[in-house]
Amino acid sequence: MKNLPFILIAFFMAFQACGQPQKDTDTIISNNPTNLKLKVLYFHITNRCMTCRGIEANVRKTLDEQFRNEVETGVIDLYIMNCELPENKDLVEKYEAYGATLAITSFQNGKEQKTEDLTNWAFQKAHDPELFVSELKSKINEYIQ
């Protein structure tokens, strides 16, 4: 009986180690709304597959490597969100992002202009990070230049 607390801790640690899915937290990078020209949004579900994670990694890579300055000055915002969290419900409905969804929305003088859904494209190119980055870079440039 004296050892019961230790046994319970062992139980807890074992289930923590193997039983729980990894939780992702939302990322929102929005540095200066007055400069905003483009929002890049990627939605995902809670239990994610390799392709879904790959798309997020490719999106981050594109912004980190090609648009670091634009992100820092607020020209481009990045939203990575779990579409199954209740706090994201409004954005999920707006973008019809009920599962993995990549979308970009352009802005001019603080007003929302056009949204393009890149989900089908993203799943087609996800396996080729170089091509993904190159094509997404061109797409983003169309909106911010």
Partner 1 sequence: MRKFKLQGMMLIAFLYFLLFFAACSSVSQQNEMNDKDTIVAELPDTLAADQTADSLLHDDADTIKKMVPKSDQPRILVYNFHVTNRCPSCIAIEDATTKTLNTYFSREMKDGRIKRYIMNVDDDANRSIAEKYQVFGSGVFVTRVFKGKEATTDLTGDGFKYAKNKEEKFIEILKTKISEYLK
Residues at the site binding partner 1, with contacts judged by CB under 8 A: 2-3, 6-7, 10-11, 13-15, 17-19, 45, 47-52, 83-84, 96-101, 119-124, 126-127
> 51-84 as b/e, with b when 16 or more CB fall inside 10 Å?
ebebbbebbeebbeebbeebbeebbbbbbbbbbe
Distance separating alpha carbons of residues 47 and 99, to the nearest angstrom: 11
Distance separating alpha carbons of residues 134 and 66, to the nearest angstrom: 9
CB 93, min distance to partner 1, A? 10
CB 65, min distance to partner 1, A? 23
CB 30, min distance to partner 1, A? 24
Q: Are 132 and 58 in contact (CB under 8 A)?
A: yes
Nearer to partner 1, 51 or 108 (CB): 51
Nearer to partner 1, 4 or 34 (CB): 4
Nearer to partner 1, 124 or 141 (CB): 124
CB 87, min distance to partner 1, A? 16
Q: Any idea which residue has 């200066």 for tokens? A: 32
- Calculate the CA dihedral of residues 97, 98, 99, 101 and round it to 10 degrees: -10
Nearer to partner 1, 71 or 92 (CB): 92
Nearer to partner 1, 55 or 75 (CB): 55
CB 79, min distance to partner 1, A? 16
